[in-house]
Structures are given as structure tokens and as C-alpha cells.
Structure 1
């Protein structure tokens, strides 16, 4: 049995047809087989967009909209996309479609004008807070895959870059078993090793900290904002990271803790943040130093307007040149999209000015005004 191909126009409006023999899971066989991974991967790369057939056809450089429409129909039948009519037929990837993307076959060499033998982008990965992390290129592969490989080889990584560029999100996506210590100037040894806590009925018991738990259970440990932590406190990590793999808890009767298989430490560092000090002792413990910057393409994919992204790029260039004290990163641009969807564009622009440090607000307002053509000031309440 073959599936009829729906007709489509240039705008992606397709005529409904009868039935489908699409399987519930996996890519279909037959003449649309080479298109399936291309269409699915494009939708996975744009999870927040509701796309017309024509838009997808043009983006992947397919030969016809009819083949793309047939693939989308099969994906809808499998629950991998939602299908809307307004009056054009539009499609958006579902979580089931994203999950299925991990098993997509690569498009054969030479299939379609836009095909390539380069491995496709992995599907976005859910973080503990439910937000999706979009993998980025690193070395010969993708960041989360390479981090997992470095963990298997016991090669520690220090991530550095401005706050809000996705360092923590990347580590959370790479390691589902992650434990985290959020570093500040007030972090103490007990925050890593544990301390005595009172118990009902009187007395105290020693409750082990995240470093001990990670070592014993063979889990990954993220030391976030590590360079804000006093160096004498960070020294508690060093025996766990070197060949010994053993720490001693003096406060609990010199208890010895040995690192189990899979134990791994990764740290985050925000250069330029007040109070951040990257000591030689800390830097030398990490074999790989990886800079993490904002991916502007991902910001656009997630809905940040072109003018706002361009303003952010200008501000980041000024930040690098020492001309301003702050520039929005991916975190702020994701927040911008949420505020825009809730309060509107004008309020979102004003809020982006308002969240900037006071010394940088004038610079942010000027950049946004320049790119949007609209005078912008910090968000505030109006009259009744």
C-alpha cells in the first residue's frame, strides 16, 4: 500500500488526502526515506517554531514540497509533530519527536540538494528544570558528547566565559547524575565535605556533602563560579582530582573517602566578575580550558528578534573592547522572549535595559534604540 502525496502551494498550504501507512515510530521506508531525517532534524533544530511546508522545503533545499508534506503527514500520525491549519498547514516538533530524533538515521550521501554526510545535530536535551539545551559544536563532535567522552577519560574541564552563556546548562545536559556546589566568597569546606546537624531527640549526626556523595556514588560534580571560592577552601578538591582519588574528613574522625568509578569534577569560571580569582593551583588541575560564549544562532532560533540579537552582539563587542561594563548573553535573550510573550515587545525592550547594571544601562538603551529605531528607557510603571 502506498501513501498518496498531498499537493502543496508555495506557501505550504496542502490539500488533505486519505489515510496514511506511516509507522508509529522510526523513519519511513520508500521514496521519502531520505527526506525524513532531514525534515525531522530541521524541526528538532527549531523546536519553538511553527513552520509551513514551503518554509521547511526551502530550508533543507528539498526538490519538492510534496515529498516534505508527505513526511510531515507521517510524523503527525506518529505524534512527532503537531499540525495546525490557519489556513496554511503548519507543523511544530513535539517532545516525542525530539526524543525520537536520537534514533534518526543520517541522510544518505547525495540525497537531495541540501544533503550532507556530516552527522546531524543531536536533539535538544532536557535539563532538570525542564528547559531544553541545544548542543553546540566542539572539536570533532558536539559539546555534550565530548564532555561525556572527557569524563570517561578522566580529563577535567574548566569552563569559562561571561555569566549567562550556558555553561551550567551544558553540564546539566551532559551529566544527568550531576551534583552542584554554587561557589561564592562565603563557601566553606563544609559545603563540600558536610557537617554535623542536630537530630530529633538530641545529639548530632554528620551529614556528608556533595563532594563525598559524588565520590562514593561515582557521580559528576560541578563547582560553579569556582573562582569566587577562597583558594584555601578549593584545596579540598585537589586530593580527589589527582592520582590519589582519596580525601580525608578530619571533622568526622579522619574518615577516608575514596572516589568510585565515574566520579568527575568540572568547574565554571566567570572572568572579569568582581572577586573572581583563577589561581595557578586551580587552573593546573584542569587539563581542558573551554571558553563558552553566547551562540547567537540559537538565540534567534529560540525567538529573539534580529534587531535585539544585533544589539547584543554590538554590546558584547564593546564589552570586549572595554567600552561598556555589561552585555546581554543567552540567558538574558531567553528572558527577553518570555517577557515579550507576556508583556509585549515594548516592555521587553525596556526590561532588557532595566536588568543591566546601572553603569551600563545607558549603553544598552543606546544600542537597542539604534537597532530598533525606537527610543528606549528602563521598564517602569506608568500613570493610572
Structure 2
């Protein structure tokens, strides 16, 4: 959770506001957030600021802010921490409640000299979302919605989602773009129950103290939890997570006095699965916990629109066709194509094509070499050192 700057003094919610907002539907909470922004148009707010003003969980507030941003009804100022500010469309999204009690108290904040950008023209499609690493995520279609909007709706109704597909297709990027309050667990065969729930660590005084893990933190703060490469985690370890995902929404921390942790509103679990990775096993117990399972493949049209070398995109499409037919096991995904363009910009296209051959698995390299050589019109071999200069 972010800590508001010392110059901020968020107003306490009026009596009964927290209980009232906790019963509101997602659209009403979004409108309430819009009202705070519209009431203080010259100020920007962190998610923590808004949570204190409205008396609501940070996870739900963060989703509401990102939805307003996606709809062009607010703008974002800064990324660490994220701050949101009204624009010309925010007032239309605001919740309209008669009487002076509907307007929250103003918040002191630094004045911003930069004007708010114009509202997004929704007819042009959703705008790219900035991920925590600064890179942009370009939304894709899912069930006739932008994918980030679909995931947020599923979170609001507590329907767990499993995204599956080859590495590098954008599963993690999508989840980071959809949930700005995300906590990520990078799963592998060595992940333990302690890595999820917490464990005792030695403090500066030589004693031991219990430090909560990402699962408990996400539950207490009402945040989204991503189990990246969930199918690499031992089923015995994952079993510790299941009580938090079902109707109980509780876990017992046996290592810490048998403490019971109850999930706050907004807590949500989402997972990623790479079917082709060695050791990745989607057990029946894990699959049954995720009511929605979404296949994610590379968007080669997006690669083309990002001005990646068209020959490289064509090679990737051809290899993907062979992969789908079962003739090879590997094809470049969007991650590899983005890396290709960076290499081409630095070392030239010839080196980038040679590297594309070199990163192919040995069992597929002959086929990849043939496809790349045919597309470029010249023999291409794996990138390697040459003679001494």
C-alpha cells in the first residue's frame, strides 16, 4: 500500500459512509470515486487517499480508478505512487446524491500546472494502459469487451480466472494492466507454504518475528494476488490457498498461534499457467478452483502495429502455423518479437534474424533456420562470434 505524501490530509469519511459504500455495486463505487475527483478538480489523489475519504478497500478503489482512466473519465498523474485527477469528463461519471453530505471535504494537495488531457474518444477503442514497469499494454478483445474490463468484472463478482498459453504471450502484462493493486508470487517447484502465508525471520536484535507472506497481505488489504506459473507449485502448497478462494474466504496461520485471517473486500486470486513448460501440471484440484480459463496467444497484428520488422512478424506467423499443426514445438511470441526489434535497432536486422534462429530449441532449430532463411532470401545461421579482429 502506498503512503500519501505529508502534504496530503485526506478527510475522514462521514459517519455511515463506509457502511453505505461497502454495499454499493461496482458502478456506484466508481461514480463515488469520480465525485471525489470532480469535487477537487485541481488536486490529484492516490488510491490510499481515496480509500480514506470514502472508507472503502484499496483494491476496489484501485479498480474503480483504473476503470475511470480506461473510460476516459479521469487522468493519471505519476506512477509511483499512482495519482488520479479529474478531467472534463469526470463530472459526468460522478455519483449524484442530493444534499451537501454527498460532497467529501476538500483535500490539500500540490497544484498541478499541467492541464488535464482531453477525454478519450471511446470510438477509437481503449487506450494503452501503463504497467508498473512503464511499458504500455494494448488491450485485446475478450467476450466482446476489452480484456482488462472483462477481468475487472470477473473480479467484482469473485470469479477466479486462469490464463494459460506459451511464455511471452502477455498473460502477466494483461493482469498487471487490469489490477494496479496486484501482488505477484513467482511460482516454482521450490515454493513453500511459508512463501505464501509467511514465516519467522531473524530480526536485528537476534530474535525472531513472524512476517506475513503475500497471500496474507493480499487478504488483509483486499488486493489481487497473481500466482504466476501456478502449475509449477506443489499441490500440497497450493492446498493452503484454497480456503481463501472458496466461500470461507479464510485461512488459518498455524505457524503464528493458529491465527485466522479473513479476506477483506477486494481480495482476488488469478493465476497463470504455461502448459508447455517442463513440470507444469494443471491438477484437477487447481483447475476446479478457476471457473474461467482463458487461452492467451500472441497477437501478431499488434506486433505489426508496433512497427516490428514485418519479415520477422511473417516468420513468427508461419512458425506458429507449424506449431499448431504439431510439426514443431516452438514459435516466437510477442516477447521474442519485441526483443527482435530491440536487437535489430542496435545490431541490425541480420544479427536479429540470426539471434531468432539461435534462441530456437535445438529440436526445432533446423525448421526455424529453413523458415527464416526462406523469408529473408539468404542463408541464416545462429548468432555466433566470428574471427578475431
Aligned equivalent of 2:188: 184
Look at both structures and tell me which one has the larger radius of gyration over its CA atoms: 1
1:104 aligned onto 2:108: no
1:374 deviates by 1.8
> In 1, Cα distance between the equivalents of 2:287 and 2:124?
34
> In 2, Cα distance between the equivalents of 1:301 and 1:188?
42
Select 1:334's aligned residue among 332, 335, 338: 338
Aligned equivalent of 1:272: 276
1:134 aligned onto 2:138: yes
Gaps (5+ residues) in structure 1? Answer: 1-40, 42-95, 107-118
Aligned equivalent of 2:127: 123
Aligned equivalent of 2:299: 295
1:195 deviates by 1.1
1:154 deviates by 0.6
1:359 deviates by 2.1
| SS class of match (1:304) | coil
1:215 aligned onto 2:219: yes
> In 2, Cα distance between the equivalents of 1:326 and 1:227?
20
Aligned equivalent of 2:204: 200
Aligned equivalent of 1:244: 248
TM-score by length of 1: 0.69
Aligned equivalent of 1:158: 162
Select 1:358's aligned residue among 344, 356, 362: 362
1:105 deviates by 3.4
Over the aligned positions, Cα root-mean-square deviation in angstroms equals 1.7
1:292 deviates by 0.5
1:207 deviates by 0.8
**Greater mean deviation of Cα atoms: 141-150 or 303-312:** 303-312
Aligned equivalent of 2:316: 312
1:224 aligned onto 2:228: yes
1:313-347 deviation digits (Å, cap 9, x = unpaired): 12112222221121110000011111111111011
| SS class of match (1:173) | helix
1:234 aligned onto 2:235: no
Select 2:289's aligned residue among 264, 268, 285: 285
1:272 deviates by 2.2
Q: Could you list the structure 1 runs, at least 4 aligned residues long, displaced by more than 4 angstroms after superposition.
A: none
1:98-152 deviation digits (Å, cap 9, x = unpaired): x947x2234xxxxxxxxxxxx4321111111111100001112100111111111
Select 2:147's aligned residue among 143, 149, 158: 143
Aligned equivalent of 1:75: none
> In 1, Cα distance between the equivalents of 2:184 and 2:287?
19
Aligned positions, number: 276
Select 1:371's aligned residue among 352, 375, 383: 375
**Greater mean deviation of Cα atoms: 358-367 or 148-157:** 358-367
1:361 deviates by 2.0
> In 2, Cα distance between the equivalents of 1:192 and 1:263?
15
TM-score by length of 2: 0.69
Gaps (5+ residues) in structure 2? Answer: 1-71, 73-113
| SS class of match (2:168) | coil
